[in-house]
Amino acid sequence: MRTKKLGRTGEEIPAIGQGTWKMGHEMAADILALKAGIEAGMRFIDTAEMYGSEPVVREAALGEDVFIATKVSPSHFSHDAVIKACDQSLKKLGVKRIDLYQLHWPNPSIPIEETMGAMEELVSDGKIRYIGISNFSVDQTIEAQHALKSNEIVSNQVEYNLLSRGIEDELLDYCRKEGITLIAYSPFARGEMFDGRYKAQLRLLAEIGNKYGVTPAQVALNWLISKAPVVAIPKAASRDHAMENAAAAGFELTKNEVDRIGSAFE
């Protein structure tokens, strides 16, 4: 599996990880899919206290070397609530330390200094390794970084896929310049990419995919990770999809192909 730098930490994480939103209802099948993904190299799993999928991640990652990212909900951004939420996530995940702990969405009603104070305490107490954010704009990212005294924000998790390109205006370049990893969520636009509305664009992905012996979905993921700071976290509830997604990092689109695909979906 191709790896990417996590912020400026020197740590490398898989360029393609696994999302787990909506997992947990079909426990056995979800665990099988996640385990297949882990074996195929997607040793990076994203969850959140809000998803209810932490126990599934626990089962799937048991005894495995997996980089685990979870999130604290905005309603828990007061100092004490952050600490409590983290303790609960540690328990549900069955780990001593969370690799990446992310603020799920900005919450302007609680001073970011208070939230980040708690996050730094969690780092010094050894309960989390790295601090990340999610759904933060450039200005909110700058504000969040200023609220930290001795840690850096290593990642910002935002929606990014061929149909949703808003972050290309500003945030993508900002992250590249500042050495912040951009974790692309909903890389398949929640599956909307394949719902029949984008036939011409999918034909292009198929045509380019033929050259590499890969599927349109793999081309779509590869297009995302072709951008320097981007890692992607597709969700796959089936073993076949998980293995397909893991193999999407195994080739490199040319600059010309990256541009053609980008324009076709504009």
| Active site amino acids | 51
Record the tokens describing residue 187, joined without a space.
């890389």
Report the candidate in 262, 258, 253, 248 with the shortest Cα–Cα distance to residue 17.
248
State which residue, 131 or 150, has the beta carbon closest to ligand NAP.
Answer: 131
Spatial contact of 98 and 90, defined as CB atoms under 8 Å apart: yes
**Measured from the CB of residue 173, what is the shortest distance to ligand NAP in angstroms?**
20
**Measured from the CB of residue 9, what is the shortest distance to ligand NAP in angstroms?**
20
- In what helix (H) or strand (E) does residue 80 lie, and over which residues does it extend? helix 79-93
| 171 exposure class (CB count in 10 Å sphere: 0-12, 13-18, 19+) | buried
- Specify which residues 103 forms β-bridges with: 72, 133
Contacts of 152 (CB under 8 A, 6+ apart): 7, 8, 9, 131, 145
State which residue, 160 or 174, has the beta carbon closest to ligand NAP.
Answer: 160
Spatial contact of 104 and 72, defined as CB atoms under 8 Å apart: yes
**Measured from the CB of residue 124, what is the shortest distance to ligand NAP in angstroms?**
25
Catalogue the E-assigned strands of 93-212.
Answer: 98-103, 128-134, 153-159, 181-185
Q: DSSP assignment, residue 112?
A: H
**Measured from the CB of residue 242, what is the shortest distance to ligand NAP in angstroms?**
7
Spatial contact of 50 and 75, defined as CB atoms under 8 Å apart: no
State which residue, 126 or 206, has the beta carbon closest to ligand NAP.
Answer: 206
**Measured from the CB of residue 237, what is the shortest distance to ligand NAP in angstroms?**
3
Report the candidate in 72, 2, 7 with the shortest Cα–Cα distance to residue 42.
2
State which residue, 46 or 257, has the beta carbon closest to ligand NAP.
Answer: 46
> Which residues contact ligand NAP (rule: CB under 6 A)?
19-21, 46, 134-135, 157, 185-191, 194, 217, 233-238, 241, 244-245
State which residue, 116 or 205, has the beta carbon closest to ligand NAP.
Answer: 205
**Measured from the CB of residue 133, what is the shortest distance to ligand NAP in angstroms?**
10
What b/e string do you get for 201-216 counting C-beta neighbours within 10 Å, with b at 16 or more?
bbebbeebbeeeebbb
State which residue, 26 or 80, has the beta carbon closest to ligand NAP.
Answer: 26
Q: Is 66 helix (H, G, I), strand (E, B) or coil?
A: coil
